[in-house]
Amino acid sequence: MSDNTLEIKNLHVEVEDEKILNGVDLEISKGEIVALMGPNGSGKSTLAKVLMGHPAYEVTEGEAYFKGENIFELEPDERAHLGLFLAFQYPKEITGVSVSNFLRTALNSRRDDDDEIDPVEFQETLHEQMELLDIDKEFANRYVNEGFSGGEKKRMEVLQMAVLAPEIALIDEVDSGLDIDALKIVARGINELTGDDMGTLLITHYQRILDYVEPDTVCVMLDGKVAKKGGPELAERLEDEGYDWVREEAAA
Ligand code: ADP
Ligand code: MG
């Protein structure tokens, strides 16, 4: 077991007494982008939510190890402290709290109490990341999510990921309603940030975002299980032929 890998083993999950995940095996390592694809209802978002610690989702069997810890034994904030990041963790709207202040607080909550980041140093980091992601400087002074467009919420999410510098990022793309600009923002964030220090699990129903992000591994979720693994060419085949052939192959 390596400290660089989130290792999900034989994961079974129930929601309201209904089995949703039926033995998921999946690994995400620093330095790689793993795309998790699959038809609607196959359990992709359930996987993201249970890794995040969403209370509605009950782990009935299996583990997920990171740095020697079974993360299901940790509280959500302890998982974040360990270096996991789940997109969509931003709060709805926080009137009176600027993006800059929110991100500084979030960053400090990940650090030890006696190791709070120097405000000047934080501003430098923030501006660096905003430049890297091509986000307007003025954005830092706006109130979190207040009146944000869909694209701006995505920017917020990606900026949060950049500032928190997680080791494993789990990103669940909303399957519909993401316009091309928002897709590009997410793609840019993933491409800029994935590297020796970070690995990414990108959950997506559509092949579209993979025009902008090249995954190292493509996994297909079917009926609550990872039914197939391959390289980028697998995503192309899914785009051309849909998911039926994977189902047939899995049944054979
Ligand atoms: P995907 O993200 O692949 O489209 P989901 O994980 O959202 O799939 O859903 C998988 C299955 O679990 C679906 O049948 C869905 O209806 C069910 N499900 C997910 N979350 C809940 C919930 N909170 N309550 C009841 N059923 C749920
Ligand atoms: Mg989903």
Q: Look up the CATH number of the domain holding residue 78.
A: 3.40.50.300
Q: By percentage, how much of the chain surpasses pLDDT 70? A: 96
Query: Taking the model in full, what pTM does it have?
Result: 0.92
Residue 62 neighbours by CB under 8 Å, 6+ apart:
8, 9, 10, 11, 12, 23, 24
What pLDDT band is residue 156 in, cutting at 50, 70 and 90? Answer: confident
Q: What is the number of structural domains in the chain?
A: 1
**Cβ–ligand 1 contact at 17 (below 6 Å):** no
95 pLDDT tier (thresholds 50, 70, 90): confident
Domain housing 175: 5-251
Quote the ligand 2 centre to 39 CA distance (angstroms).
Answer: 9
Pocket lining: 41 vs ligand 1, CB cutoff 6 Å: yes
* Residue nearest atom 27 of ligand 1, based on CA coordinates: 15
Q: Which residues place a Cβ less than 5 A from the ion ligand 2? A: 44-45
